[in-house]
């Protein structure tokens, strides 16, 4: 933001850095980019097909499964998208940056701000694309230029997103993505304030190689590229063989990629928080300052100094308790959690100020800060500053319990990670003390080495003087004695005292000379060794003064035995020669070997004792320094330590509760598993029972199916038998009908023979069946040729209609089974004529229908003398007429033709006469009906 304001404040200065040519005269020669065009075309060569399945031969494609084809398609898409991304980076680097650098003379700082790390990104992605193309060439089929199948891709992904290349990729994308917003804002500012830049960008977008890709679109494409990889990798893993090595490598590469994206997002988040902190700092007054809880002054500039980072931001309600009884104050403040402090700000008129209420500091140091939740309110929390100088307590309220928990967790993490030099000193001081202890040990070892060398030198002197080497001392560690047991000061001191006593005895013997040394005197000296040496009351001085005084007294006496050992001893010898006797030939017997051996042992023990004392003093000093350091630690952290212990105890309780819940869950899981096993056993038993029932049902179904087939077969046989039975019944009926017709015919012949008519020709028609006889099989199936009886009486089946609708329905008048037609004149005949007609009526009653059945009435045609006129011979009484008398001649002829040939031949003559009589009757009937004087007929 500050950089943008800086550039905006100096637009004219920037314009002066560009070329002075008119912006309208800027022209770009596209021929300069032929090399770049060829390079881009070479990158896209062999990948023009949209999918892998269209790029290879169809015959080669048949060798792969559906999943394998999809996997190769995804890999092909990955390579295509990588080619497009590399093309975008090359256009940015070789077109935009080149033109801005050459045409507008833009410096590298602004170019880097507009396109951060583009050159390095191109290098990394070009390396990735080259590896993919090389793997394609390695996977090419022998003798083919387009058939290939990439089997291994995981190693390339692992190389690209891990190791040095992965670290570089994370850094580059972190830099580019974090500066995305700033780059877009800088571009908009240049487009608004710089006409030359605006015109140049418009000219660049018109180039065919650019494809109208503007700077904002290019920045967005580069930013989003890192987020496109996971989708492609997951699709490749989906179509890869399960549990294969290639799938494991792909999953590993995907994990590296996700880790890279997570780190890039964290980098972007930090950059956004840094920008937010700069924005909030700019809203504060330039000279704003406030005191911290530690007493130090905090200024506006301190927000951006050092390594301070914005960790969390939010609005909280600050409750301040008034001690004067005026009630509590509630103020909404903006709380900024930085890496080492907590800022309380108030917003007013788009400006920010430090919130200092009731004299409490608006800046809270995270050092010695305690966070505690309010017991009575799940949305409240307390911040306690445990500083010894100015302890304070703050009460804040959040909008929800979740927000309160978020704040407490983030503040605790910030407190634990808060860097401070004062807190680090107690941790560094033990290290310094340990370093001092190490140096002391080195010096103690040096002292021990020098003492050892000194002891060896004295042993050599004693060997050279006495001629006897001292083998009692160790060659390698003369001051350490037996390596199995550590040296102890008390034992060394006791041994040194014994050696001193031996030296005293030797010196006493030397002082007596040749005088015999009685045992009494010797016992006296041995019993009182401390009386002459002065060690009785000064044994505690042995490490410092006792050894030196002893050596001085020894030096006075050693001078007598060997005055050539030391110059100082020589001087002492000369001084004492004045006191000794002048007898030079006096020979004193002195045990030199024993003397030197005792002195050597005494020296070794004393040096060892000195070494032990030095080491002990070093340890004592280190312990004193440690104790002083512990005492010098401040006591102000007691509350903080208590709070940490309380939190630790709380965490332990939560851990114990978690373990208890985990054990309970494990127990419930075991119970559930047992219940599941029991249910599985029950289910298996039920399934077994179900299978058995299914088998029984299937067997029963098979049995029922067999029975059904058997029943169907029996039914078919029954139907066939029934059909045969029906056919037999029909044939029987036909024979029966024939027999009845024959009987009726014979009966009619007999009737005709009994009643002969004079001068009349009687024609007997074929016998008709009875009207009330119906065959049993008549309604089941009609024969192809209906019998004569059915054809004659077929009209009886049809429904009867009223008499006045006969003409409209195109039907003929049907006669009833038994109907008598009586002329009206005969019904109303006068009484005078009854005698006249009595003789005729009695004459014709022999042939009337009263003597025979109605179905047996035979029409009789009487040929009178009047030329066959029916009117001349008609009787005065009504006759019973058969319904067939009124049948149409055509129907009658068709019915007659249906009989057998034999019946036709037998009744030929009778049939002809019957036909003539019927015709005459019908003619007479029509004449009577058409005549205006026709008589009315009554039906009853």
Residue with tokens 């004492």: 576
388 shares its domain with 499: no
Residue with tokens 């650019």: 210
Q: What are phi and psi of 320, to 5 degrees?
A: -115, 125
Token pair listed for 635? 């006591």
Give pLDDT, residue 566: 44
71 shares its domain with 220: yes
Please give the share of the chain, as a percent, with pLDDT higher than 90. 28
C-alpha distance from residue 778 to each of 83, 534, 774, 782, 891 (Å):
95, 170, 7, 6, 21
Whether 368 is in a domain gets the answer yes
- Find residue 369's DSSP bridge partners: 385
Whether 663 is in a domain gets the answer no
CB-facing half-sphere around the CA of 790: CA atoms within 13 A: 16
Give pLDDT, residue 250: 94
Count Cβ atoms below 10 Å from residue 299 Cβ, excluding itself: 13
| Helix boundaries (H) for 823-869 | 824-827, 834-844
Domain end: 223, 251, 277, which one?
A: 277
Domain end: 245, 277, 309, which one?
A: 277
pLDDT in tens, 200-239: 999 898 888 888 889 999 999 999 999 999 999 999 999 9
- Find residue 821's DSSP bridge partners: 939
225 shares its domain with 325: no
272 shares its domain with 292: no
Report whether 92 contacts 115 (CB < 8 A): yes
Report whether 336 contacts 358 (CB < 8 A): no
338 shares its domain with 271: no
Q: 884-892: long-range contacts (C-beta < 8 A, 24 or more apart)?
A: 884/765, 884/768, 884/792, 884/859, 884/918, 885/859, 885/918, 885/921, 886/813, 886/815, 886/922, 886/925, 887/792, 887/918, 888/812, 889/915, 889/918, 889/919, 889/922, 891/791, 891/792, 892/918
Q: Tell me which residue of 129, 233, 221 sits closest to 176, measured CA to CA.
A: 221
Whether 468 is in a domain gets the answer yes
297 shares its domain with 251: no
Q: Tell whether the model's pLDDT for residue 924 goes beyond 60.
A: no
pLDDT winner (highest mean) among 11-20, 35-44, 865-874, 901-910: 35-44
372 shares its domain with 505: no
Count Cβ atoms below 10 Å from residue 529 Cβ, excluding itself: 19
Please state, in angstroms and rounded to a whole number, the distance separating the CA atoms of residues 445 and 762. Answer: 178
Range of the domain at 492: 442-608
Name which residue leads in pLDDT, 758 or 608: 608
294 shares its domain with 270: no
Give pLDDT, residue 436: 74
214 shares its domain with 259: yes
Helix (H) or strand (E) holding 176: helix 163-178
**621 confidence band (pLDDT: 50, 70, 90):** confident
496 shares its domain with 371: no
**603 confidence band (pLDDT: 50, 70, 90):** confident
For residue 819, the SS3 value is coil
Give pLDDT, residue 468: 58
CATH of the domain at 186: 1.20.900.10
Please state, in angstroms and rounded to a whole number, the distance separating the CA atoms of residues 439 and 417. Answer: 33
Q: Tell me which residue of 792, 786, 877 sits closest to 836, measured CA to CA.
A: 877
Lowest mean pLDDT among 356-365, 372-381, 543-552, 742-751: 543-552
Query: How many domains does the chain divide into?
Result: 4
Average pLDDT, the chain: 71
What phi-psi label fits residue 852: left (phi over 0), alpha (psi between -120 and 50 degrees) or beta?
Answer: beta
Q: Tell whether the model's pLDDT for residue 530 goes beyond 80.
A: no
Q: Tell whether the model's pLDDT for residue 283 goes beyond 60.
A: yes
Report whether 812 contacts 806 (CB < 8 A): yes
Contacts of residue 748, defined as CB under 8 A and 6 or more positions apart, other chains included, come to 764, 767, 856, 858
Whether 670 is in a domain gets the answer no
CATH of the domain at 403: 2.30.29.30
176 shares its domain with 320: no
Whether 462 is in a domain gets the answer yes
Q: Tell whether the model's pLDDT for residue 50 goes beyond 60.
A: yes
Q: Tell whether the model's pLDDT for residue 608 goes beyond 70.
A: yes
Crossing angle of helices 519-527 and 489-512, rounded to 10°: 150
Token pair listed for 697? 């049902």
Please state, in angstroms and rounded to a whole number, the distance separating the CA atoms of residues 177 and 598. Answer: 86
pLDDT in tens, 381-415: 988 887 766 778 888 999 998 999 999 889 988 88
Whether 696 is in a domain gets the answer no
Lowest mean pLDDT among 58-67, 262-271, 440-449, 848-857: 848-857
Give pLDDT, residue 523: 42
Give pLDDT, residue 439: 78
Q: Tell me which residue of 793, 786, 735, 745 sits closest to 767, measured CA to CA.
A: 745
Contacts of residue 613, defined as CB under 8 A and 6 or more positions apart, other chains included, come to 489, 543
Residue with tokens 């996997």: 71
Domain end: 585, 608, 631, which one?
A: 608
Name which residue leads in pLDDT, 399 or 933: 399
Whether 426 is in a domain gets the answer no
183 shares its domain with 294: no
Please state, in angstroms and rounded to a whole number, the distance separating the CA atoms of residues 903 and 793. Answer: 20
Whether 893 is in a domain gets the answer yes
* Strands 369-373 vs 380-385: parallel, antiparallel or unpaired: antiparallel
| Dihedral sign, Cα of residue 236, residue 238, residue 244, residue 245 | positive
């Amino acid at each position: 933001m500050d950089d943008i304001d800086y550039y905006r404040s100096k637009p004219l200065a920037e314009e002066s850095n560009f070329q002075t040519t008119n912006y309208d005269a800027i022209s770009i020669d596209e021929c300069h980019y032929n090399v770049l065009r060829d390079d881009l075309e070479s990158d896209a060569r062999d990948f023009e097909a949209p999918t892998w399945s269209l790029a290879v031969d169809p015959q080669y494609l048949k060798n792969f499964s559906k999943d394998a084809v999809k996997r190769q398609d995804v890999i092909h898409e990955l390579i295509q998208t990588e080619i497009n991304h590399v093309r975008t980076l090359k256009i940015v680097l070789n077109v935009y940056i080149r033109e801005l650098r050459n045409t507008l003379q833009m410096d590298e700082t602004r170019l880097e701000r507009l396109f951060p790390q583009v050159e390095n990104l191109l290098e990394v992605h070009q390396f990735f694309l080259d590896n993919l193309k090389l793997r394609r060439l390695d996977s090419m089929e022998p003798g083919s230029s387009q058939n290939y199948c990439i089997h291994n891709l995981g190693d390339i992904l692992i190389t690209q997103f891990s190791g040095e290349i992965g670290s570089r990729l994370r850094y580059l994308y972190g830099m580019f993505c974090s500066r995305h917003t700033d780059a877009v804002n800088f571009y908009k500012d240049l487009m608004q304030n710089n006409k030359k830049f605006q015109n140049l960008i418009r000219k660049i977008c018109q180039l065919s190689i650019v494809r109208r890709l503007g700077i904002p679109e290019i920045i967005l494409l580069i930013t989003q590229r890192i987020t496109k990889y996971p989708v492609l990798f997951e699709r490749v893993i989906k179509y890869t063989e399960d549990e294969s090595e290639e799938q494991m490598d792909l999953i590993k590469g995907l994990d590296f990629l996700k880790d890279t994206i997570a780190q890039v997002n964290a980098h972007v988040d930090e950059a956004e928080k840094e920008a937010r902190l700069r924005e909030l700092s700019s809203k504060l007054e330039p000279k704003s300052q406030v005191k911290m809880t530690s007493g130090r002054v905090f200024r506006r500039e301190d927000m951006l100094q050092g390594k301070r980072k914005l960790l969390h931001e939010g609005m909280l309600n600050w409750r301040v308790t008034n001690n004067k009884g005026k009630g509590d104050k509630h103020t909404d403040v903006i709380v900024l959690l930085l890496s080492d402090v907590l800022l309380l700000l108030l917003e007013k008129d788009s400006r920010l100020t430090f919130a200092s209420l009731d004299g409490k500091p608006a800046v809270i140091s995270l050092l010695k800060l305690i966070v505690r939740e309010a017991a009575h309110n799940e949305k409240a929390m307390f911040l306690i500053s445990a500083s010894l100088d100015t302890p304070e307590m703050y009460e804040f309220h959040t909008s929800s319990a979740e927000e309160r928990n978020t704040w407490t967790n983030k503040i605790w993490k910030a407190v634990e990670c808060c860097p401070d030099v004062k807190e680090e000193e107690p941790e560094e001081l033990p290290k310094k003390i340990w370093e001092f202890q190490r140096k002391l040990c080195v010096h103690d070892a040096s002292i021990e080495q020098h003492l050892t060398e000194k002891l060896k030198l004295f042993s050599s002197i004693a060997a050279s003087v006495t001629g006897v080497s001292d083998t009692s001392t160790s060659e390698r560690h003369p001051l350490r004695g037996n390596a199995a047991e550590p040296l102890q000061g008390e034992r060394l001191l006791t041994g040194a005292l014994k050696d001193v006593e031996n030296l005293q005895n030797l010196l006493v013997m030397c002082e007596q000379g040749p005088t015999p040394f009685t045992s009494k005197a010797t016992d006296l000296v041995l019993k009182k060794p401390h009386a002459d040496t002065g060690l009785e009351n000064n044994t505690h001085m042995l490490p410092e003064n006792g050894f030196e005084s002893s050596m001085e007294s020894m030096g006075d006496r050693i001078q007598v035995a060997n005055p050539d050992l030391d110059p100082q001893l020589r001087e002492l010898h000369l001084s004492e020669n004045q006191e000794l006797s002048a007898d030079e030939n006096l020979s004193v017997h002195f045990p030199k070997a024993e003397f030197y051996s005792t002195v050597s042992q005494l020296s070794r023990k004393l040096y060892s004792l000195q070494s032990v004392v030095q080491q002990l003093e070093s340890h004592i000093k280190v312990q004193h320094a440690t104790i002083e350091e512990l005492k010098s630690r401040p006591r102000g952290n007691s509350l903080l330590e208590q709070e940490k212990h309380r939190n630790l105890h709380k965490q332990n309780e939560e851990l114990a509760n978690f373990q208890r819940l985990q054990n309970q869950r494990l127990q419930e899981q075991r119970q559930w598993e047992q219940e599941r096993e029991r249910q599985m056993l029950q289910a298996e038993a039920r399934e077994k029972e179900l299978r058995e029932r299914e088998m029984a049902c299937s067997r029963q179904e098979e049995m029922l199916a067999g029975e059904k087939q058997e029943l169907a077969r029996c039914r078919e046989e029954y139907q066939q038998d029934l059909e045969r039975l029906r056919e037999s019944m029909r044939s029987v009926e036909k024979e029966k009908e024939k027999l009845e017709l024959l009987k009726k015919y014979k009966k009619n012949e007999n009737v005709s023979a009994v009643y002969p008519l004079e001068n009349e020709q009687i024609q007997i028609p074929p016998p008709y069946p009875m009207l009330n006889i119906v065959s049993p099989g008549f309604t089941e199936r009609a024969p192809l040729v209906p019998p004569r009886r059915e054809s004659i009486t077929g009209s009886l089946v049809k429904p009867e209609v009223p008499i006045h609708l006969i003409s409209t329905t195109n039907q003929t008048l049907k006669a009833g089974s038994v109907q008598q037609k009586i002329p009206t004149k005969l019904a109303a005949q006068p009484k005078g004529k009854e005698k006249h007609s009595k003789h005729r009526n009695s004459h014709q009653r022999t042939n009337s229908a009263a003597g025979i059945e109605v179905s047996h009435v035979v029409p009789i045609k009487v040929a009178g003398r009047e030329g066959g006129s029916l009117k001349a011979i008609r009787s005065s009484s009504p006759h019973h007429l058969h319904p067939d008398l009124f049948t149409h001649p055509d129907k009658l002829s068709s019915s007659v033709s249906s009989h057998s040939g034999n019946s036709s031949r037998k009744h030929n003559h009778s049939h002809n006469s019957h036909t003539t009589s019927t015709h005459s009757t019908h003619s007479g009937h029509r004449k009577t009906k058409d005549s205006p004087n026709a008589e009315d007929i009554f039906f009853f």
